[in-house]
Amino acid sequence: MKDARPAVLAIAAHPDDIEFVMSGTMLRLAQAGYSLHYLNIANGCCGSTKHDAETTASVRRSEAIKSARLMGATFHESLTNDLEIFYDRDTLLRVASIVREVAPTIMLTHSPQDYMEDHINACRLAVTAAFARGMPNFTVDPPRPAIGQSVTVYHAQPHGNCDALGNPVHPDLFVDVGDLMVRKLELLGCHESQRSWLDESQAMDSYLETMKQLLHEIGKLSGTFEYAEGWRRHLHLGFCDPDAAPLEQAVADHLAYRS
C-alpha cells in the first residue's frame, strides 16, 4: 500500500552528505508527518586509502543503510562511483525514475555552488529530474509514468558555507537543530569509515566536530539559534506554485528567516 503521507526526498552526492547538512531538517519533517527518502547518487567507493573501491563501497553502503534506518528513511541504492557523478543522460534517467517513484512534495539537495563537482552535478541532476517529473515523453529508467505532483526544491548550504571561490553563501531559511544535535551526531557517526579518511584527505580532525562547527556558524547567521541547517528555495517555475512553502509551513515552530 502506498504511503499516504507527503514525502521528502533528499538527494546528495555521497554517503554522509545528507547527515552533514540535511538530516536535522529531515527529522523535523518526519515530526511534521512526512515520509523520508534517502538517496546518495555516488556509492562512496573512493573514500578510503586502505581498502579497494569495491570493499569501500560495500562498507559505505552498510553505513548509509544504518543511518537511513535510524532516521526512519527509505534507502535508495546509489547509482554511480565517486567522481563519476556526471550530468549525463543515463544518470539523469535513473534519478528521474526515483523522483517519479517517490513523488515528493519537498526535495532537499545540494547547493548549486559547492566545493566539488560531485556535489554540483548531484544538484543539477536532482533539479532536472524534478523538473521532468511530469513530462510523459521523457522516458525514465526504469520506466515509470509521469506524475502531476508539485515539488518544492530547497538547496542546502555548501560545505564550508561558501562557494568554490571562497565567497560566503548565506541561507534564506534557518531550521533549528539544536535539540537534534545528539541524533545528528549519531547519524553521522554511522559513517565510521570516514573518521580517518576525512582527516587524511580534507584535514577534518573530527568530522563530528566539523559538522558541529559548521552548524554553529549557520546558527550565528540566523541570529536566533545555536545550531541550524540553512536552506535556499529554488525558483518555483516548472516545479510548484509561486507561493508554495511546504518546508516553511511544516517546520514553522523551528524556523527563522534571513533578516
Q: Which residues of 223-240 are buried (b: 16+ CB within 10 A; e: fewer)?
A: eebebbbbbbbbeeeebb
pLDDT in tens, 35-74: 999 999 999 999 887 889 999 999 999 999 999 999 999 9
Window from 3-7, 139-143, 201-205, 236-240 with minimum mean pLDDT: 201-205
Which residues, listed in sequence order, are joined to residue 107 by a DSSP beta bridge? Answer: 9, 153
Average pLDDT, the chain: 94
**Bond from prior residue into 171 cis (ω within 30 degrees of 0):** no
Q: Are 146 and 134 in contact (CB under 8 A)?
A: yes
**Residue 27 contacts by C-beta under 8 Å, 6 or more apart in sequence?**
71, 177, 180, 183, 184
**pTM value surpassing 0.75:** yes
Distance (Å, whole) CA 203 – CA 8: 32
Backbone angles phi, psi at 37, to 5 degrees: -130, 140
Class of domain 7-257: alpha beta
Q: Are 87 and 112 in contact (CB under 8 A)?
A: no
The residues spanned by each domain of the chain are 7-257
pLDDT at 198: 60
pLDDT in tens, 96-155: 999 999 999 999 999 999 999 999 999 999 999 999 999 999 999 999 999 999 999 999
